[in-house]
Amino acid sequence: MARRGPQGGGGAKRDRILRAAIMIFSRKGYFNSKISEIARQAGVADGTIYLYFKNKDDLLISLFEEKMGEVVADVRARVAEGGDALSRLRIFIRNHMDLLVREAGLIEVLQVELRQSNKFMKEYVPVKFLEYLDIISGILEDGQKEGIFRRDLNVTLARRAIFGALDEISLAYVLSRKRKYDPAEAAEEIYRIFAAGLKDSVPSEGGR
Amino acid sequence: MARRGPQGGGGAKRDRILRAAIMIFSRKGYFNSKISEIARQAGVADGTIYLYFKNKDDLLISLFEEKMGEVVADVRARVAEGGDALSRLRIFIRNHMDLLVREAGLIEVLQVELRQSNKFMKEYVPVKFLEYLDIISGILEDGQKEGIFRRDLNVTLARRAIFGALDEISLAYVLSRKRKYDPAEAAEEIYRIFAAGLKDSVPSEGGR
DNA sequence: TCCGATTGAATGAACCATCATTCACTAAAT
DNA sequence: ATTTAGTGAATGATGGTTCATTCAATCGGA
Protein backbone atom coordinates (compact mmCIF):
# COMPACT_ATOMS: atom_id res chain seq x y z
CA MET A 1 0.00 0.00 0.00
CA ALA A 2 1.09 3.49 -0.85
CA ARG A 3 4.45 2.28 -2.04
CA ARG A 4 5.59 4.82 -4.49
CA GLY A 5 9.10 4.58 -5.72
CA PRO A 6 12.51 3.03 -5.24
CA GLN A 7 13.07 4.31 -1.72
CA GLY A 8 9.42 4.13 -0.84
CA GLY A 9 9.37 7.47 0.93
CA GLY A 10 9.79 11.03 -0.32
CA GLY A 11 13.08 10.83 -2.16
CA ALA A 12 14.87 13.87 -3.48
CA LYS A 13 14.55 12.62 -7.02
CA ARG A 14 10.85 12.14 -6.71
CA ASP A 15 10.55 15.71 -5.56
CA ARG A 16 12.67 17.00 -8.41
CA ILE A 17 10.26 15.32 -10.81
CA LEU A 18 7.25 16.79 -9.06
CA ARG A 19 8.74 20.24 -9.16
CA ALA A 20 9.61 19.89 -12.81
CA ALA A 21 6.07 18.75 -13.55
CA ILE A 22 4.65 21.84 -11.87
CA MET A 23 6.89 23.98 -13.97
CA ILE A 24 6.05 22.36 -17.28
CA PHE A 25 2.35 21.82 -16.61
CA SER A 26 1.95 25.43 -15.54
CA ARG A 27 3.57 26.67 -18.72
CA LYS A 28 1.81 24.53 -21.29
CA GLY A 29 -1.03 22.73 -19.61
CA TYR A 30 -1.25 19.03 -18.98
CA PHE A 31 -2.01 17.77 -22.46
CA ASN A 32 0.67 19.78 -24.17
CA SER A 33 3.36 18.79 -21.72
CA LYS A 34 5.53 15.89 -22.76
CA ILE A 35 6.95 13.39 -20.33
CA SER A 36 10.28 13.85 -22.05
CA GLU A 37 10.17 17.57 -21.30
CA ILE A 38 9.47 16.97 -17.65
CA ALA A 39 12.25 14.44 -17.54
CA ARG A 40 14.69 16.85 -19.11
CA GLN A 41 13.64 19.63 -16.75
CA ALA A 42 14.11 17.30 -13.77
CA GLY A 43 17.42 16.06 -15.08
CA VAL A 44 16.40 12.41 -15.26
CA ALA A 45 15.64 9.94 -18.01
CA ASP A 46 12.11 9.46 -19.31
CA GLY A 47 11.88 6.00 -17.83
CA THR A 48 12.85 7.17 -14.37
CA ILE A 49 9.56 8.97 -14.03
CA TYR A 50 7.82 5.62 -14.26
CA LEU A 51 9.77 4.34 -11.29
CA TYR A 52 8.10 6.96 -9.14
CA PHE A 53 4.73 7.41 -10.79
CA LYS A 54 2.37 4.97 -12.40
CA ASN A 55 1.73 7.10 -15.44
CA LYS A 56 1.19 10.67 -16.56
CA ASP A 57 -2.20 10.94 -14.86
CA ASP A 58 -0.77 9.69 -11.60
CA LEU A 59 1.89 12.37 -11.80
CA LEU A 60 -0.79 15.04 -12.00
CA ILE A 61 -2.86 13.56 -9.20
CA SER A 62 0.12 13.16 -6.90
CA LEU A 63 0.91 16.77 -7.56
CA PHE A 64 -2.64 17.81 -6.66
CA GLU A 65 -2.81 15.85 -3.48
CA GLU A 66 0.65 16.30 -2.07
CA LYS A 67 1.24 19.93 -2.81
CA MET A 68 -2.31 20.92 -2.04
CA GLY A 69 -1.97 18.98 1.20
CA GLU A 70 0.94 21.16 2.23
CA VAL A 71 -1.02 24.27 1.39
CA VAL A 72 -4.03 23.15 3.42
CA ALA A 73 -1.95 22.31 6.47
CA ASP A 74 -0.29 25.70 6.23
CA VAL A 75 -3.50 27.73 5.98
CA ARG A 76 -5.06 25.78 8.83
CA ALA A 77 -2.19 26.78 11.07
CA ARG A 78 -2.32 30.41 10.06
CA VAL A 79 -6.07 30.73 10.35
CA ALA A 80 -5.99 29.15 13.80
CA GLU A 81 -4.05 32.18 14.98
CA GLY A 82 -6.92 34.52 14.18
CA GLY A 83 -9.42 35.76 16.72
CA ASP A 84 -13.04 36.09 15.71
CA ALA A 85 -14.51 34.88 12.43
CA LEU A 86 -13.95 38.19 10.71
CA SER A 87 -10.26 38.31 11.41
CA ARG A 88 -9.93 34.67 10.44
CA LEU A 89 -11.71 35.33 7.18
CA ARG A 90 -9.29 38.11 6.53
CA ILE A 91 -6.31 35.91 7.21
CA PHE A 92 -7.66 33.25 4.90
CA ILE A 93 -8.19 35.69 2.06
CA ARG A 94 -4.86 37.33 2.58
CA ASN A 95 -3.12 33.99 2.63
CA HIS A 96 -4.76 32.90 -0.58
CA MET A 97 -3.48 35.93 -2.41
CA ASP A 98 -0.03 35.56 -0.94
CA LEU A 99 0.12 32.05 -2.32
CA LEU A 100 0.13 33.59 -5.77
CA VAL A 101 3.56 34.93 -5.10
CA ARG A 102 4.98 32.08 -3.03
CA GLU A 103 3.64 29.24 -5.18
CA ALA A 104 2.86 30.76 -8.53
CA GLY A 105 3.42 27.63 -10.58
CA LEU A 106 1.44 25.36 -8.32
CA ILE A 107 -1.51 27.72 -8.20
CA GLU A 108 -1.47 27.99 -11.95
CA VAL A 109 -1.62 24.24 -12.37
CA LEU A 110 -4.38 23.84 -9.84
CA GLN A 111 -6.48 26.56 -11.38
CA VAL A 112 -6.32 25.24 -14.87
CA GLU A 113 -6.09 21.49 -14.47
CA LEU A 114 -8.41 20.89 -11.57
CA ARG A 115 -11.38 21.78 -13.75
CA GLN A 116 -10.19 19.75 -16.68
CA SER A 117 -9.51 16.76 -14.51
CA ASN A 118 -13.17 16.14 -13.88
CA LYS A 119 -13.54 15.41 -17.56
CA PHE A 120 -10.92 12.78 -17.94
CA MET A 121 -10.35 11.24 -14.54
CA LYS A 122 -13.69 9.78 -13.77
CA GLU A 123 -12.68 8.19 -10.49
CA TYR A 124 -10.68 11.00 -8.97
CA VAL A 125 -12.08 13.08 -6.11
CA PRO A 126 -10.02 16.12 -5.19
CA VAL A 127 -9.97 15.47 -1.46
CA LYS A 128 -7.48 18.12 -0.50
CA PHE A 129 -9.29 20.73 -2.48
CA LEU A 130 -12.49 19.97 -0.63
CA GLU A 131 -10.63 20.32 2.64
CA TYR A 132 -9.55 23.75 1.53
CA LEU A 133 -13.17 24.71 0.98
CA ASP A 134 -14.07 23.26 4.37
CA ILE A 135 -11.79 25.75 6.03
CA ILE A 136 -14.00 28.49 4.67
CA SER A 137 -17.17 26.74 5.83
CA GLY A 138 -15.71 26.47 9.30
CA ILE A 139 -15.05 30.17 9.46
CA LEU A 140 -18.52 31.00 8.21
CA GLU A 141 -20.27 28.72 10.68
CA ASP A 142 -18.25 30.08 13.55
CA GLY A 143 -19.16 33.56 12.41
CA GLN A 144 -22.82 32.67 12.59
CA LYS A 145 -22.44 31.35 16.11
CA GLU A 146 -20.58 34.48 17.09
CA GLY A 147 -23.45 36.51 15.73
CA ILE A 148 -21.27 38.24 13.16
CA PHE A 149 -22.76 36.70 10.02
CA ARG A 150 -26.37 36.33 8.98
CA ARG A 151 -28.01 33.24 10.46
CA ASP A 152 -29.86 32.52 7.24
CA LEU A 153 -26.69 32.62 5.19
CA ASN A 154 -26.36 29.62 2.89
CA VAL A 155 -22.90 28.50 3.93
CA THR A 156 -22.37 26.09 1.04
CA LEU A 157 -23.12 28.80 -1.44
CA ALA A 158 -21.21 31.49 0.37
CA ARG A 159 -18.04 29.48 0.62
CA ARG A 160 -18.18 28.75 -3.05
CA ALA A 161 -18.68 32.44 -3.75
CA ILE A 162 -15.68 33.38 -1.67
CA PHE A 163 -13.49 30.76 -3.20
CA GLY A 164 -14.71 31.64 -6.69
CA ALA A 165 -13.95 35.30 -6.21
CA LEU A 166 -10.45 34.57 -4.96
CA ASP A 167 -9.82 32.05 -7.69
CA GLU A 168 -10.94 34.29 -10.49
CA ILE A 169 -8.85 37.17 -9.25
CA SER A 170 -5.86 34.89 -8.91
CA LEU A 171 -6.40 33.71 -12.43
CA ALA A 172 -6.48 37.21 -13.81
CA TYR A 173 -3.33 37.97 -11.90
CA VAL A 174 -1.52 34.92 -13.15
CA LEU A 175 -2.55 35.34 -16.76
CA SER A 176 -1.92 39.01 -17.26
CA ARG A 177 1.74 39.59 -17.45
CA LYS A 178 1.15 43.20 -16.55
CA ARG A 179 0.46 42.67 -12.86
CA LYS A 180 -2.17 45.39 -12.70
CA TYR A 181 -2.67 45.16 -8.96
CA ASP A 182 -0.98 44.17 -5.76
CA PRO A 183 -2.15 40.90 -4.17
CA ALA A 184 -2.23 42.43 -0.71
CA GLU A 185 -4.47 45.29 -1.83
CA ALA A 186 -6.67 42.90 -3.73
CA ALA A 187 -7.03 40.77 -0.62
CA GLU A 188 -8.15 43.79 1.38
CA GLU A 189 -10.76 44.77 -1.17
CA ILE A 190 -12.18 41.27 -1.36
CA TYR A 191 -12.26 41.10 2.39
CA ARG A 192 -14.20 44.33 2.59
CA ILE A 193 -16.77 43.14 0.10
CA PHE A 194 -17.43 39.86 1.85
CA ALA A 195 -17.19 41.17 5.37
CA ALA A 196 -19.99 43.58 4.57
CA GLY A 197 -21.82 41.12 2.35
CA LEU A 198 -22.07 38.33 4.85
CA LYS A 199 -22.98 40.55 7.72
CA ASP A 200 -25.89 42.74 6.81
CA SER A 201 -28.86 41.87 4.72
CA VAL A 202 -30.60 43.78 1.98
CA PRO A 203 -34.32 43.84 1.29
CA SER A 204 -34.97 40.70 -0.72
CA GLU A 205 -37.41 42.44 -3.05
CA GLY A 206 -34.87 45.19 -3.68
CA GLY A 207 -34.60 48.07 -6.14
CA ARG A 208 -37.53 49.20 -8.31
CA MET B 1 -12.13 37.65 -45.09
CA ALA B 2 -14.23 35.66 -42.66
CA ARG B 3 -15.11 33.16 -45.32
CA ARG B 4 -15.98 30.07 -43.45
CA GLY B 5 -17.53 27.28 -45.34
CA PRO B 6 -19.20 26.20 -48.53
CA GLN B 7 -22.13 28.58 -48.25
CA GLY B 8 -20.05 31.26 -46.65
CA GLY B 9 -22.74 32.16 -44.14
CA GLY B 10 -24.24 30.27 -41.23
CA GLY B 11 -25.36 27.02 -42.86
CA ALA B 12 -27.47 24.42 -41.11
CA LYS B 13 -24.71 21.86 -41.40
CA ARG B 14 -22.20 24.19 -39.88
CA ASP B 15 -24.50 24.66 -36.95
CA ARG B 16 -25.02 20.95 -36.55
CA ILE B 17 -21.29 20.54 -36.25
CA LEU B 18 -21.03 23.34 -33.71
CA ARG B 19 -23.78 21.84 -31.63
CA ALA B 20 -22.20 18.41 -31.79
CA ALA B 21 -18.89 19.90 -30.72
CA ILE B 22 -20.51 21.50 -27.68
CA MET B 23 -21.97 18.18 -26.76
CA ILE B 24 -18.78 16.19 -27.10
CA PHE B 25 -16.43 18.82 -25.67
CA SER B 26 -18.66 19.26 -22.65
CA ARG B 27 -18.66 15.54 -21.96
CA LYS B 28 -14.98 14.74 -22.36
CA GLY B 29 -13.09 17.98 -22.62
CA TYR B 30 -11.31 19.31 -25.67
CA PHE B 31 -8.27 17.05 -25.72
CA ASN B 32 -10.18 13.85 -25.21
CA SER B 33 -12.72 14.61 -27.88
CA LYS B 34 -12.02 13.13 -31.28
CA ILE B 35 -12.94 14.81 -34.51
CA SER B 36 -14.44 11.52 -35.63
CA GLU B 37 -16.77 11.53 -32.61
CA ILE B 38 -17.94 15.03 -33.33
CA ALA B 39 -18.48 14.08 -36.94
CA ARG B 40 -20.50 11.04 -35.98
CA GLN B 41 -22.57 13.05 -33.52
CA ALA B 42 -23.25 15.67 -36.18
CA GLY B 43 -24.04 13.03 -38.76
CA VAL B 44 -21.33 14.10 -41.22
CA ALA B 45 -18.04 12.69 -42.39
CA ASP B 46 -14.80 13.59 -40.66
CA GLY B 47 -13.60 15.54 -43.68
CA THR B 48 -16.71 17.68 -43.79
CA ILE B 49 -15.71 19.40 -40.59
CA TYR B 50 -12.66 20.73 -42.40
CA LEU B 51 -14.86 22.37 -44.99
CA TYR B 52 -16.34 24.57 -42.29
CA PHE B 53 -13.47 24.95 -39.83
CA LYS B 54 -9.77 25.37 -40.34
CA ASN B 55 -8.86 22.78 -37.73
CA LYS B 56 -9.80 21.50 -34.30
CA ASP B 57 -8.62 24.65 -32.54
CA ASP B 58 -10.64 26.79 -34.89
CA LEU B 59 -13.70 24.75 -34.06
CA LEU B 60 -13.26 25.53 -30.38
CA ILE B 61 -12.60 29.20 -30.97
CA SER B 62 -15.59 29.58 -33.27
CA LEU B 63 -17.67 27.97 -30.60
CA PHE B 64 -16.38 30.42 -27.99
CA GLU B 65 -16.91 33.49 -30.04
CA GLU B 66 -20.20 32.74 -31.75
CA LYS B 67 -22.12 31.16 -28.92
CA MET B 68 -20.71 33.53 -26.35
CA GLY B 69 -21.62 36.36 -28.68
CA GLU B 70 -25.25 35.28 -28.58
CA VAL B 71 -25.14 35.09 -24.81
CA VAL B 72 -23.66 38.56 -24.49
CA ALA B 73 -26.22 40.12 -26.79
CA ASP B 74 -28.98 38.45 -24.85
CA VAL B 75 -27.81 39.60 -21.40
CA ARG B 76 -27.27 43.12 -22.67
CA ALA B 77 -30.89 43.27 -23.73
CA ARG B 78 -32.19 41.87 -20.48
CA VAL B 79 -30.04 44.05 -18.27
CA ALA B 80 -31.10 47.13 -20.19
CA GLU B 81 -34.62 46.56 -18.92
CA GLY B 82 -33.53 47.02 -15.31
CA GLY B 83 -33.90 50.25 -13.39
CA ASP B 84 -31.14 51.27 -11.03
CA ALA B 85 -27.79 49.55 -10.68
CA LEU B 86 -29.02 47.25 -7.94
CA SER B 87 -31.87 45.84 -9.94
CA ARG B 88 -29.63 45.48 -12.98
CA LEU B 89 -27.07 43.63 -10.93
CA ARG B 90 -29.78 41.31 -9.78
CA ILE B 91 -30.96 40.66 -13.33
CA PHE B 92 -27.43 39.94 -14.44
CA ILE B 93 -26.85 37.45 -11.66
CA ARG B 94 -30.18 35.80 -12.16
CA ASN B 95 -29.59 35.52 -15.87
CA HIS B 96 -26.22 33.92 -15.37
CA MET B 97 -27.70 31.19 -13.22
CA ASP B 98 -30.56 30.64 -15.63
CA LEU B 99 -28.06 30.03 -18.39
CA LEU B 100 -27.05 26.90 -16.53
CA VAL B 101 -30.36 25.39 -17.36
CA ARG B 102 -30.88 26.84 -20.82
CA GLU B 103 -27.35 26.26 -22.11
CA ALA B 104 -25.84 23.63 -19.87
CA GLY B 105 -23.45 22.19 -22.43
CA LEU B 106 -22.16 25.52 -23.64
CA ILE B 107 -21.55 26.77 -20.12
CA GLU B 108 -19.70 23.62 -19.29
CA VAL B 109 -17.40 24.00 -22.25
CA LEU B 110 -16.72 27.64 -21.54
CA GLN B 111 -15.96 27.00 -17.91
CA VAL B 112 -13.50 24.25 -18.50
CA GLU B 113 -11.87 25.13 -21.79
CA LEU B 114 -11.58 28.87 -21.52
CA ARG B 115 -8.95 28.47 -18.82
CA GLN B 116 -7.06 25.79 -20.68
CA SER B 117 -7.09 27.76 -23.88
CA ASN B 118 -4.73 30.35 -22.51
CA LYS B 119 -2.09 27.67 -22.30
CA PHE B 120 -2.19 26.41 -25.82
CA MET B 121 -3.56 29.19 -27.98
CA LYS B 122 -1.03 31.87 -27.49
CA GLU B 123 -2.57 34.33 -29.89
CA TYR B 124 -6.21 33.99 -28.92
CA VAL B 125 -7.93 36.74 -26.93
CA PRO B 126 -11.40 35.86 -25.68
CA VAL B 127 -13.07 39.04 -26.87
CA LYS B 128 -16.63 38.02 -26.17
CA PHE B 129 -15.77 36.89 -22.69
CA LEU B 130 -14.24 40.26 -21.93
CA GLU B 131 -17.40 41.92 -23.19
CA TYR B 132 -19.33 39.83 -20.72
CA LEU B 133 -17.16 41.13 -17.91
CA ASP B 134 -17.62 44.67 -19.20
CA ILE B 135 -21.33 44.40 -18.63
CA ILE B 136 -20.60 43.96 -14.94
CA SER B 137 -18.20 46.90 -14.90
CA GLY B 138 -20.87 49.04 -16.48
CA ILE B 139 -23.36 48.19 -13.80
CA LEU B 140 -20.85 48.85 -11.04
CA GLU B 141 -19.80 52.20 -12.42
CA ASP B 142 -23.38 53.30 -12.83
CA GLY B 143 -24.03 52.24 -9.28
CA GLN B 144 -21.22 54.46 -8.11
CA LYS B 145 -22.64 57.43 -9.97
CA GLU B 146 -26.05 56.72 -8.53
CA GLY B 147 -24.51 56.76 -5.08
CA ILE B 148 -25.50 53.16 -4.40
CA PHE B 149 -22.03 51.63 -4.36
CA ARG B 150 -18.90 52.75 -2.58
CA ARG B 151 -16.97 55.40 -4.50
CA ASP B 152 -13.68 53.82 -3.58
CA LEU B 153 -14.70 50.41 -4.85
CA ASN B 154 -12.12 48.87 -7.13
CA VAL B 155 -14.35 48.07 -10.08
CA THR B 156 -11.89 45.83 -11.88
CA LEU B 157 -11.50 43.68 -8.81
CA ALA B 158 -15.16 43.69 -7.90
CA ARG B 159 -16.31 42.57 -11.30
CA ARG B 160 -13.88 39.69 -11.21
CA ALA B 161 -15.13 38.78 -7.76
CA ILE B 162 -18.72 38.74 -8.94
CA PHE B 163 -17.94 36.76 -12.03
CA GLY B 164 -15.75 34.37 -10.08
CA ALA B 165 -18.44 33.72 -7.52
CA LEU B 166 -21.02 33.01 -10.21
CA ASP B 167 -18.65 30.88 -12.18
CA GLU B 168 -17.60 28.75 -9.25
CA ILE B 169 -21.17 28.16 -8.18
CA SER B 170 -22.12 27.26 -11.72
CA LEU B 171 -19.25 24.84 -11.84
CA ALA B 172 -20.31 23.12 -8.66
CA TYR B 173 -23.81 22.88 -10.04
CA VAL B 174 -22.72 21.43 -13.32
CA LEU B 175 -20.34 18.93 -11.82
CA SER B 176 -22.42 17.51 -9.05
CA ARG B 177 -25.05 15.30 -10.52
CA LYS B 178 -27.04 15.76 -7.34
CA ARG B 179 -28.27 19.28 -8.01
CA LYS B 180 -28.07 20.31 -4.40
CA TYR B 181 -29.62 23.71 -4.92
CA ASP B 182 -31.91 25.64 -7.16
CA PRO B 183 -30.27 28.15 -9.52
CA ALA B 184 -32.88 30.80 -8.78
CA GLU B 185 -32.32 30.57 -5.04
CA ALA B 186 -28.59 30.58 -5.52
CA ALA B 187 -28.89 33.72 -7.62
CA GLU B 188 -30.81 35.44 -4.87
CA GLU B 189 -28.26 34.55 -2.23
CA ILE B 190 -25.36 35.75 -4.33
CA TYR B 191 -27.21 38.94 -5.05
CA ARG B 192 -27.78 39.58 -1.38
CA ILE B 193 -24.12 39.09 -0.58
CA PHE B 194 -22.88 41.45 -3.24
CA ALA B 195 -25.61 44.02 -2.87
CA ALA B 196 -24.62 44.41 0.76
CA GLY B 197 -20.93 43.96 0.07
CA LEU B 198 -20.59 46.68 -2.52
CA LYS B 199 -22.70 49.15 -0.65
CA ASP B 200 -21.47 49.52 2.88
CA SER B 201 -17.95 49.49 4.08
CA VAL B 202 -16.38 47.81 7.03
CA PRO B 203 -13.57 49.23 9.17
CA SER B 204 -10.41 48.47 7.25
CA GLU B 205 -8.50 47.44 10.36
CA GLY B 206 -11.37 45.22 11.43
CA GLY B 207 -11.28 42.01 13.43
CA ARG B 208 -10.14 41.44 17.04
C1' DT C 1 42.08 -4.60 2.39
C1' DC C 2 40.85 -6.24 -2.03
C1' DC C 3 37.88 -8.28 -5.53
C1' DG C 4 34.09 -10.62 -7.77
C1' DA C 5 29.11 -11.14 -7.22
C1' DT C 6 24.65 -9.35 -6.48
C1' DT C 7 21.19 -5.96 -6.29
C1' DG C 8 18.27 -2.49 -7.87
C1' DA C 9 18.17 2.32 -9.59
C1' DA C 10 18.48 4.62 -13.81
C1' DT C 11 18.65 4.93 -18.69
C1' DG C 12 16.86 6.05 -23.37
C1' DA C 13 16.03 3.95 -27.85
C1' DA C 14 12.40 1.61 -29.88
C1' DC C 15 7.67 0.42 -30.08
C1' DC C 16 3.04 1.17 -31.21
C1' DA C 17 -1.55 3.10 -30.52
C1' DT C 18 -3.82 7.16 -31.40
C1' DC C 19 -5.82 10.81 -33.97
C1' DA C 20 -5.77 15.23 -36.72
C1' DT C 21 -5.53 16.15 -41.25
C1' DT C 22 -5.42 15.28 -46.23
C1' DC C 23 -7.02 14.13 -50.75
C1' DA C 24 -8.58 11.21 -54.51
C1' DC C 25 -12.93 10.12 -55.42
C1' DT C 26 -18.32 10.16 -55.78
C1' DA C 27 -22.75 12.44 -55.99
C1' DA C 28 -25.60 16.14 -56.77
C1' DA C 29 -26.70 20.42 -58.59
C1' DT C 30 -26.65 24.00 -62.11
C1' DA D 1 -20.16 19.16 -68.74
C1' DT D 2 -18.64 21.63 -65.06
C1' DT D 3 -18.60 22.99 -60.48
C1' DT D 4 -19.10 22.35 -55.63
C1' DA D 5 -20.37 19.62 -51.35
C1' DG D 6 -19.41 15.71 -49.13
C1' DT D 7 -16.93 11.44 -48.09
C1' DG D 8 -13.93 8.31 -45.39
C1' DA D 9 -9.86 5.51 -46.01
C1' DA D 10 -5.04 6.37 -45.85
C1' DT D 11 -1.27 8.97 -44.01
C1' DG D 12 2.09 10.72 -40.92
C1' DA D 13 3.36 12.71 -36.67
C1' DT D 14 3.29 12.54 -32.12
C1' DG D 15 4.38 11.04 -27.59
C1' DG D 16 3.22 7.71 -23.65
C1' DT D 17 5.07 3.58 -22.17
C1' DT D 18 8.14 -0.45 -22.03
C1' DC D 19 12.21 -3.11 -21.22
C1' DA D 20 16.87 -4.82 -22.33
C1' DT D 21 20.86 -2.94 -20.82
C1' DT D 22 24.24 -0.12 -18.06
C1' DC D 23 26.15 1.51 -13.95
C1' DA D 24 27.11 2.15 -9.00
C1' DA D 25 26.81 0.73 -4.63
C1' DT D 26 26.92 -2.78 -1.23
C1' DC D 27 28.28 -7.15 0.46
C1' DG D 28 30.93 -11.15 1.94
C1' DG D 29 34.60 -14.24 1.61
C1' DA D 30 39.58 -14.73 1.59
- How confident is the model over A34-49, as pLDDT tens digits? 999 999 999 999 999 9
Whether residues A96 and A180 fall in one domain: yes
**Tally of structural domains, chain A:** 2
Same domain as B13, residue B94: no
Task: Mark whether B50 and B68 lie in a shared domain.
Answer: no
Domain assignment of residue B46, given as a range: 1-54
Residues with CB under 7 A from strand D: A 32-36, 46-47, 50, 55-57; B 6-7, 13, 44-48, 50-51
> Do the beta carbons of residue B21 and residue B32 sit within 8 Å?
no
B176 has a chain A CB within 8 A of its CB: no
B90 lies in some domain: yes
**Alpha-carbon dihedral angle through residues A58, A31, B116, B41, given to the nearest 10 degrees:** -110
Is residue B206 a part of any domain in this protein? no
Distance CA A103, CA A126 (A): 19
Look at residue B59 and tell me if it is in a domain: no
Same domain, residue pair B95 and B45: no
Residue A102 inside a domain? The answer is yes
Structural domain contains residue A160:
yes
Residue A187 dihedral angles phi and psi, to the nearest 5°: -60, -40
Confidence (pLDDT) at B176: 83
Q: Is residue A152 part of a domain?
A: yes
Has residue B4 been placed in a domain?
Answer: yes
Domain of residue B99, CATH code: 1.10.357.10
With residue B69 as reference, give the H or E element that holds it.
helix B56-80
Inter-axis angle of helices B85-102 and B127-145, nearest 10: 150
Protein-to-nucleotide distance from the CA of A35 to the C1' of D16, whole angstroms: 8
**What count of other Cβ atoms lies within 10 Å of the Cβ of residue B10?**
11
Contacts of A159 (CB under 8 A, 6+ apart): A133, A136, A137, A140
Q: Provide the pLDDT confidence category of residue B82 given band limits of 50, 70 and 90.
A: confident
Give the range with max mean pLDDT: B113-117, B139-143, B204-208: B139-143
Of B163, B168, B189, the CB nearest to A154: B189
Same domain, B50 and B72: no
Q: pLDDT band at residue B200, thresholds of 50, 70 and 90?
A: low
Q: Can you list the positions of beta strands (E) in A25-166?
A: none
The answer on B4 and B92 residing in a single domain is no
Rounded CA separation B90/B207 (Å): 30
- Are B11 and B66 spatial neighbours (Cβ–Cβ below 8 Å)? no
User: DSSP class of residue B148?
Assistant: S
The answer to whether residues A37 and A110 belong to one domain is no
Residues of B in contact with A208 (CB under 8 A): 83-84, 87
pLDDT at A3: 52
